[in-house]
Structures are given as structure tokens and as C-alpha cells.
Structure 1
Amino acid sequence: MKGFFRTIREDIDAIFERDPAAQNVLEVMLCYPGLHAIIIHRISHALFKRGLVILPRFISNIARFLTGIEIHPGAKIGRKVFIDHGTGVVIGETTEIGDNVTIYQGATLGGTGKDKGKRHPTIGNNVVISCGAKVLGPFKVGDNSKVGAGSVVLREVPADCTVVGVPGQIVIKENKKVRTVYNEVDLEHGKLPDPIAEELGCLQRRIIELEKKLSEMERRSKNEAV
């Protein structure tokens, strides 16, 4: 029981670390649905591990009704996980979430196929799952990575990467690790590279170069004709 309350204390600390709107413990305890969902999940998960099925699922349904966040009681959630706002978040049965993970509203950690067994993602430590992101399948998102808003991730993500787009594309900044300090969570999920825009920019520059060469060839052709 002491361990349970210690874990809840860490969950509250995580909110103060990552949400500048949090003012005091009472406000966090009463007004943060993400915290409510995680507390209820920790209870339902403990029952689920004891072999119960209906009661944990019933408790998780109550949590979904109260918070708008659906977490299957079989999902494994680590320490200091923060679900910000949370409406529409869905976390599947075989999902595994590490420590210091931040999940924003509308995110889905879902499965693919109908076979039993591991079918949901494993999320590493210090990961940020942005608004509306979908991570679908039994692969891992590595430590210190970020999934951009609205991205759809369908394959494994190495550590220290950002993923953006549909389907998600891995972007490594300057061929270096995205994160070099691992004791903090990088919440700048609104400042991510756009690989599609970069490709379009490259194409535009290439077209300009080709137009210059074509103009030069036409000029030379006219001079030779004269």
C-alpha cells in the first residue's frame, strides 16, 4: 500500500514538472482527469494481474465514463506518466509504457490484427506522444523519442528520434541524437521538422536550378544562331 501511494505521489509530481497551469496539489487531485484515469487504472491493473476479468474491465469502463480516457486494465504503465487533458486517449491491452512518458489528448496506443498475444506498442522512457497521434502495432518506440501531432506510426522507432507525418517518418536532427540529456522530458512537440516540406523545398530549388540552366542554353542557342 505504501508503494501505491508513493507511485501516486510521483504521478502528481510529474504534473507539476510538465504542466505550468498546475497551481497546487488539491487542484491537481480534483481537476486532472489524466491523474484520475491513471489512479483508477493502477487499481484495475492490480486486480487484472490477480486473474480477474470482469471487475477490472468494469472499473476501466467507469474510468472512461468519468474521464474520457480508455485504458485497458491489462496495459502496463510505468512511473511518472502524465496524460495531459486526455479526452479521447485510448491505451490497448498489451501496451507497455515506460517512465516519464507524456501523452496528450486524442492519442491512441492501439493494436493491429485479431490474433491474441502482444499486439500493442511498447513505449520507452521519456517519450512524448503528441495530440491525436496514433501508434499502432506490437513494436517499440525508443527512449527519449517524440511522436508529432496527428502522426500515424506503424513501425519501430529507434531511441532519440522524432516521428512526423502519415505514415510516420523518422527524422533525426543533423544526424545526431535528438536528446542528449535524459533526466528531463522534452515537451516541445510543436516544434518538429516537417520532412514533406523539406522534400518540397528541395524540389523547388531543383526546379529553379533547371530553369536557370534552360535559360542559359536558350541564350547560347540564340547567340550561336546570330
Structure 2
Amino acid sequence: MFKTVSQDLQAIFDRDPAATSRLEVILTYAGFHALLAYRLAHWLKGQRVPFLPRAISQLARWLTGIEIHPSAKIGERFFIDHGMGVVIGETAEVGDNVTLFQGVTLGGTGKERGKRHPTLGSHVVVGAGAKILGGITIGDNVKIGANSVVLKSVPPNSTVIGVPARIIKSQGERLPDATMDHTNMPDPTADRFAALELELIELRKKLENRDANSPR
């Protein structure tokens, strides 16, 4: 567990340019505090300790605004940036080198039992406010845009945005760990409106030319 915590700490320096010292991160990063509490609670859960893991989870939620169920499975080098409002459900599974921004939910869609929360592969980046719901699978190297609502499984090496989320890039190059530039995400809806506007301009020109050339 201590090796995993050390890797989580290093992940912050690898992905957050604002991180300047280990002491600052250890004392002031709520995402790191929540992850520490989760690692302890998850270990206690694995030892079949009753009540205490859930109590630690709720205390961490109260202190950090981040709720991670002790039964969730989270890989190495996990990073929660800012973190307020992040929720990770009981049966959620998260791979290695995953980054979540504030307001992300890995949640369920109802009262179903069994595997009801999502599974995220490795090297996944989830933008602020995104909701990934249900027992779906998000493949490796996937990038999910801010405020997207993901209700269906996403293949590896894809980029998804929107409500509900739709794939706008698939089988592209592997996304680097530090890729977090959500301001340059493509907007297919805006692109389509722009294309329609160009088509209308062309049609208007054709109508004007036809009227100008028609006999009077």
C-alpha cells in the first residue's frame, strides 16, 4: 500500500504544474487526502474489518468533498485534480494512470445489484463534471470531455463529448498522461451548424443569380 501511495504522490507532480513540493501536496491537496483515506479503507475492507472502512470513507467525504466507496478498485498513479464533488461508486473499477477532474461521477443508473458502476481502463482522462453511469466499460487511452454524460461503453483510443456522450475520435494515437487540454476539444454540433450555414449561403447565391438571369 505504501508503494502505491508513493506512486500516487508522484503522479501529482507528473500531471499538475501547480505542484511545487511534496510537503505542499501532502498538506493541502484534497484529492491526495481522499485517496489516502480510500487506500486505508480499501485495505481494511479487504481484511474484512466491519464498519470502519465505511466510516473512514464518510469522514474523508466530509473533509474533502470527495466520496470514494471502500469497495471500489482503483489502480496505481491515480490523480484527482481539485476533486470537489467527485463520487466513485461501490463496484467502480479504475485502471492505472487515470485522471479525474472535479465533479466527476462514476455512478449507477438505478437499484440494480451486482456490477452497477463503470470500469475505466488505463490512461483515461475524465473532464470536469462528466458523469459515467452504469456497468459500462471505458477502454484504455480514452478522453472524456467536460460535462459529458456517458451511458454506453467506449472503445479504446477514443474521445467522447456531449449529452449523451458520442464518440468524435476513435482508434487515434495514444493519449499522453499529461493530456488535459479540454479547451481544444472539437465540437461536432457547432461544426455541423457552420456547414449548414455555408450551404444556406451557397443556396442563397444560386437563387439570387437565377433571379438576376431570369427574363422579365
TM-score by length of 1: 0.90
Letter of the 2:144 partner, please give it. Answer: V
Question: Matches of residues 67-82 of structure 1 in structure 2 within 5 Å?
Answer: 67-82=64-79
Instruction: Give the 3 Å change call, closer, same or farther, for CA 181–151 of structure 1 in structure 2.
Output: closer
Is the Cα contact below 8 Å between 1:126 and 1:185 reproduced in 2? no
2:199 is matched with which residue: 200, 206, 214? 206
In structure 1, C-alpha distance between the alignment counterparts of 2:49 and 2:188, rounded to whole Å: 46
Judge conservation of contact 1:34–1:85 (CA < 8 Å) in 2. yes
Letter of the structure 1 residue corresponding to residue 123 of structure 2: N
Q: How far did residue 113 of structure 1 move?
A: 1.8
* Aligned partner of residue 118 in structure 1, secondary structure: coil
Rounded Cα–Cα distance in structure 1 between residues aligned with 2:85 and 2:126: 13
Question: 135, 139, 144: which is aligned to 1:142?
Answer: 139
Q: Where do 4+ consecutive residues of structure 1 move more than 6 Å?
A: none
Q: CA RMSD in A?
A: 1.5
Residues 53, 217 of structure 1: CA spacing in aligned structure 2 closer, same or farther, 3 A cutoff? farther
Letter of the structure 1 residue corresponding to residue 174 of structure 2: T
- Give the match for residue 215 of structure 1: 208
Instruction: State how 1:30-109 maps to structure 2 within 5 Å.
Output: 30-109=27-106
Contact 1:100 1:185 (C-alpha < 8 Å) held by counterparts: no
Residues in 1 aligned to 2:134 and 2:61: alpha-carbon distance in whole angstroms: 22
Whether the 8 Å CA contact 1:127–1:185 is kept in 2: the answer is: no
Bigger mean CA offset, 209-218 vs 16-25: 209-218
Deviation sequence 1:116-157 (CA, Å, 0-9, x none): 111111111111111111111111111111111111111111
1:159 aligns with 2:156: yes
User: Does the alignment pair 1:190 with 2:187?
Assistant: no
Whole-Å separation in 1 of the counterparts to 2:111 and 2:175? 39
Equivalenced residues, count: 216
Which stretches in structure 1 are left out of the alignment for 5+ residues? none
Contact 2:80–2:100 under 8 Å retained in 1? yes
Matched residue type, 1:101 = V
Query: In 1, are the aligned partners of 2:141 and 2:175 still within 8 Å (CA)?
Result: no
- Indicate conservation of the 8 Å contact 1:97/1:122, yes or no: yes
Q: 2:45, 2:16 → 1: CA distance?
A: 31
Which of 174, 184, 190 aligns to 1:180? It is: 174
Contact 2:95 2:120 in 1 (8 A): yes
Letter in 2 for 1:200: F
Does the residue aligned with 2:8 lie in a helix, a strand or coil? helix
Structure 2 unaligned runs (5+)? none
Pairing 1:110–2:104 present? no
Kept in 2: contact 1:128–1:189 (CA 8 A): no
Identical aligned residues as a percent: 52
From 129, 132, 157, give the equivalent of 1:132.
Answer: 129
Which deviates more from structure 2 when the two are superposed, residues 76-85 or residues 145-154?
145-154
Shift of 1:114: 0.7
Q: CA deviation at 1:54?
A: 2.1
- Shift of the 219–145 alpha-carbon distance from structure 1 to 2, 3 Å rule, reads same
* Distance (whole Å) between structure 2 residues aligned to residue 155 and residue 8 of structure 1: 31
Contact 2:14–2:178, Cα closer than 8 Å, also in 1: no
Could you give the per-residue CA deviations for residues 30-88 of structure 1, whole angstroms, max 9, x where no partner exists?
11111111111011112223344522111100010111100111110000000011110
> Contact conserved, 2:64 with 2:84, CA < 8 A, in 1?
yes
